[in-house]
Amino acid sequence: MQLRVSRDCCCLHTRTHLNMPRLDGYFIFLLCGLSSISVADFPVPSEYPPFSWDTVPVFCHMCKPQGLFNDTELDFIKRFAMVTIEKGQGLNQSGYAEEKMIAAGMQIKKANSSIWTLFYMNAILDWPFFKLHDIMLKNPDYWIKHDNGTAVKFSGDSSFPQPANGMLGFNQSNPNVRKMFTSDCVNATRSKAFNGCFIDRANWALDIYNANNTRALHGVSRARVKELADGQVKLLEELQTGVTSSGLIMAKDVGRKAGFTDWPYVNSIFLSDCYCCSDSCADDIEAAINATKRKQLLQCHVNGNLNSQDQFTFALATFLVAAGEHSYFAYSHGWFLEGYGLKWWPEYNKPLGPPAGPAKRTGSVYERSFASGTHVWLDIKQKKANITWAGDIN
């Protein structure tokens, strides 16, 4: 991949051929500015999931700990253009997470082959129910370690079981770790159950390094954090190469500052667990707009209250003012299909149509109209929104 950046006397060509650490090249990329980077400098999918402006393009990200989906659940899942199978799929049953996620992906593909599916992976956390965990236990050189050689232990989402003393972390600066990790992803796509992989904590080490926050790594030296960040960049490139441009590598970006949300390594972006849920909503919207301009696939997910119409309307409005071709929206409470996690909102059936143009912004207020006559008004400071729909459809 060739990256061309220019700003006054700052010029960067072919980042992978520079005689400097790859991470340093990345920082130069940030300093030179995104506005001067052309679409061609970023990887984009050669194939895309189903997409239509007729109604809100939606995806879901979930799992069912009890095991495979029943017919009613499959009928519900088939309504989404994209589905990510979370790590907790079949958690209450024996077997590796990889096997159970593949079985669930095959179910969805059989129910509707046009749906695009993603296989969950975490770039840092060694969740103990994955097959990768067994390999990690046999290879201490695969672990993230303190400078004194002991393993760093991590905690993850408390919705999922994990050791009380924490989990091991993947040392992505080790080429063998990246090879192991990439193989797990590629094998999932070769099963035909998945169109790509969802990579959680994709920029975790880079986020810590840029913030100069080694405390988040429990005393690991800044130099070692830099090695991890560089390794994560290499991992993303190797993953994208592994699934090719026809497959998706959906990088979950945990940062919210300029630069964290602009990925020149993968063709798909999941901005955060809760898009536009904080005071950085304007940054999230800008990042979403930038991604769609580059033709990268975008997922905007909001964790919210399923009983709050106002919260849902605000969330949907933040998506609609930024959405472009191949942008998808999700709203859920947690990551589980059963119970209270997901529902189909009536707004998903209402007419939308292509946008009449980009959103107009005045201070904290955004407005945007769509071909059907639907109009969106959004105030991110007051956290208020109104969507005037053209009408309902059956």
Of the pLDDT bands very low, low, confident and very high (cuts 50, 70, 90), residue 207 is confident
Does the pLDDT value for residue 254 go beyond 70? no
E-assigned strand segments in the chain: 4-7, 10-13, 59-62, 82-85, 116-122, 196-200, 248-252, 268-270, 297-303, 327-332, 360-362, 365-369, 375-379, 384-388
Examine the pLDDT at 194 and tell me if it is beyond 90. yes
Residue of 380, 374, 219, 170 whose CA lies nearest to 288: 380
The mean of the pLDDT values for the chain is 87
Q: What is the pLDDT of residues 129-180, one digit of tens each?
A: 999 999 999 999 999 999 889 999 999 999 999 999 999 999 999 999 999 9
Instruction: Look at residue 257 in the predicted model and tell me its pLDDT.
Output: 53
Six-digit token string for 352: 């939308």
Please give the share of the chain, as a percent, with pLDDT higher than 90.
75
Pick the range with the lowest mean pLDDT from 24-28, 62-66, 160-164. 24-28
Over the stretch 315-364, which tens digit does the pLDDT of each residue have?
A: 999 999 999 999 999 999 999 997 657 899 999 999 999 999 999 999 99
Q: Which helix (H) or strand (E) holds 392?
A: none
Per-residue model confidence (pLDDT) at position 136: 98
pTM score, whole prediction: 0.88
Q: Please state the rounded mean pLDDT for residues 198-208.
A: 89
Q: Which CATH superfamily is domain 43-352 in?
A: Aldolase class I (3.20.20.70)
Q: Which of 193, 217, 196, 17 is nearest to 109 (CA)?
A: 193
Q: Which residue ranges make up each domain of the chain?
A: 1-41, 43-352
